[in-house]
Amino acid sequence: MIKMFEEFEKHLIEDEKPSIYFNKIINNESVFTEYPYTLLSCLVEIPQSPEHHPEGNVWIHTMLVVDNAAKVKGLSENPRAFMWGALLHDLGKAPTTKIRKGKITSYDHDTVGAELCRKFLETFTQEEDFIKQVVALVRWHMQTLFVMKDLPFGNVKSMTSEISIKEIALLSECDRLGRGELNDVKIKEEKENIKAFIRKCEKYLEGSK
């Protein structure tokens, strides 16, 4: 199992499109039937809202996010943690996805996913700083939405005590763009939204001094 973890990491760090490797092995490796790899393989069966995720299930979305992350990992403060964060960011959708009033929802998948992420990584490594950074990426990856919409789940103070604004913004951009076919206008809109998130967080922190 450790060998597979190391192989995952190699492809996450070195491949231009890690999804090619992961899509190739997802149905062909017996390791995906063993915990904690089942936390990933089960994402194939988890649906998403067609309105927000026309690309399909959580696994398809995750692969799009991983490929987006591979393009920008050089901008990350810690590319290794960043790429693992991209792969594991939606683990929480498996236990939280439900149909509510005819709509597919995954409330609290960020907080639930953070704990699953920790358990996943602790199976393979005891590198506390590395685990802490990946878990923080998963825990706070929804803050762009929460902060920009002034939702009660937004918590800039707690987020920035664990990870930098720009690191979350970088993952959030990969996440937001990993949603099927987006035209140039929509891509520009998403990128402007990320910039606005950074400004809003910085303004909040400045005002709280």
What's the domain range around 56? 2-207
Instruction: List the CATH number of the domain containing 175.
Output: 1.10.3210
- Domain count of the fold of the chain: 1
pLDDT at 151: 96
**CB 146 within 8 Å of CB 157:** no
pLDDT tens, residue order, the chain (209 aa) = 789 999 999 999 999 999 999 999 998 778 888 999 999 999 999 999 998 999 999 999 999 999 999 999 999 999 999 999 999 999 999 999 999 999 999 999 999 999 999 999 999 999 999 999 999 999 999 999 999 999 999 999 999 999 999 999 999 999 999 998 899 999 999 999 999 999 999 999 998 76
| Residue of 118, 112, 149 whose CA lies nearest to 132 | 118
DSSP state of 45: G
Q: How far apart are CA 66 and CA 104, in angstroms?
A: 23
pLDDT at 27: 82
pLDDT at 30: 84
Long-range contacts of 156-160 (CB under 8 A, 24+ apart): 156/201, 156/204, 156/205, 157/204, 157/205, 157/208, 159/201, 160/201, 160/205
Q: How far apart are CA 192 and CA 196, in angstroms?
A: 6
pLDDT at 2: 83
Cis status of the peptide bond prior to 95, with omega within 30 of 0: no
pLDDT at 29: 78
pLDDT at 180: 86
Measure the CA angle with vertex 30, ends 125 and 13; round to 5°.
45
